[in-house]
C-alpha cells in the first residue's frame, strides 16, 4: 500500500517521472538494469532479501544515481561504506509522506519547478474536514486519526471521501495535496 501511495504522490510531482516499481530484490535489480533510474526509493525489508542489494546493483550500473531508503527502523540503519555517496537519506516509513518530497526536491536541479501552487478552496470544507485534512498532511493514517479524534475509522473514511469530492481531487492525490497545504500559508488549522 505504501508503495502505491508513494508512486501516486511522486507521479503527480511536476519535475518527476516515475519509471517503474518492484516488489522484491530480484524485481528491483531487474528494474534498475532495464530502466536505469536516476533516483531509487528503496525499502530495506524485501520479501526475498536485503533491499540494499538493489542499491548496490544500481550503483554498479550508474554511480551517479541516488538512493533514498525507507525503513521502519531508520534510526538504526547505517549507510554501508560502498553506498555512502549514493544514499542521500534514510527515512522512517511512518514519516515517509512528510519527508520524502522534501528529500527528493533537494536533489532537483536549481530552477526546476518543485511544487505546483496549491489552489484549493478550503472554505468548502467543514471544520472537522479541515481538522482531518491537517492530520492527513501530518502523515496520520485513518485509524490513527480515528483514535485521536475519538470517532470510527469508517467516519474518517467518509470525511476523506467528502474532502476529495469537495476539492475535486482523487483519493490518491489527497495525501500529496494535504502535505502541500500543510506547508503553505493557507494550511488548515486543527482544533
Q: What is the pLDDT of residues 40-73, one digit of tens each?
A: 998 888 889 888 999 999 999 999 999 988 887 7
How far apart CA 68 and CA 40 sit, in angstroms, is 6
Q: What is the pLDDT of residues 129-146, one digit of tens each?
A: 989 988 888 878 889 999
pLDDT value at position 178? 78
- For residue 124, what are the contacts with CB-CB under 8 A and spacing of at least 6? 166, 167
How far apart CA 106 and CA 86 sit, in angstroms, is 14
How far apart CA 169 and CA 96 sit, in angstroms, is 21
56, three cell numbers: 548496490
157, three cell numbers: 473514511
* Interval 158-170 mean pLDDT: 84
Q: What is the pLDDT of residues 75-115, one digit of tens each?
A: 788 889 999 999 998 888 766 655 666 677 677 666 544 44
Query: What domains can you pick out in the chain, each with its CATH number?
Result: 2-107 (3.40.50.2300), 122-182 (1.10.10.10)
Q: What is the pLDDT of residues 2-55, one digit of tens each?
A: 677 778 777 777 777 889 999 999 999 999 999 999 999 988 888 898 889 999
pTM of this prediction? 0.55
122, three cell numbers: 478550503
Amino acid at each position: 500500500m505504501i508503495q502505491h501511495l508513494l508512486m501516486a504522490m511522486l507521479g503527480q510531482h511536476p519535475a518527476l517521472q516515475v519509471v517503474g516499481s518492484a516488489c522484491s530484490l530480484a524485481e528491483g535489480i531487474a528494474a534498475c538494469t532495464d530502466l536505469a533510474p536516476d533516483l531509487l526509493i528503496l525499502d530495506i525489508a524485501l520479501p526475498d532479501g536485503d533491499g540494499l542489494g538493489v542499491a548496490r546493483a544500481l550503483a554498479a550500473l550508474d554511480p551517479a544515481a541516488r538512493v533514498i531508503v525507507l525503513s521502519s527502523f531508520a534510526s538504526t540503519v547505517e549507510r554501508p561504506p560502498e553506498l555512502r555517496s549514493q544514499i542521500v537519506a534514510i527515512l522512517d516509513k511512518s514519516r515517509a509522506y512528510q519527508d520524502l518530497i522534501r528529500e527528493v526536491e533537494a536533489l532537483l536541479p536549481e530552477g526546476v519547478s518543485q511544487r505546483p501552487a496549491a489552489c484549493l478552496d478550503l472554505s468548502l470544507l467543514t471544520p472537522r474536514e479541515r481538522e482531518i485534512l491537517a492530520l492527513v498532511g501530518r502523515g496520520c493514517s485513518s485509524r490513527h486519526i480515528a483514535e485521536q479524534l475519538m470517532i470510527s475509522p469508517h467516519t474518517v473514511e467518509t470525511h476523506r471521501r467528502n474532502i476529495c469530492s469537495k476539492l475535486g481531487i482523487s483519493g490518491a492525490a489527497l495525501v500529496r495535496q494535504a502535505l502541500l497545504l500543510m506547508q503553505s500559508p493557507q494550511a488548515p488549522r486543527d482544533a
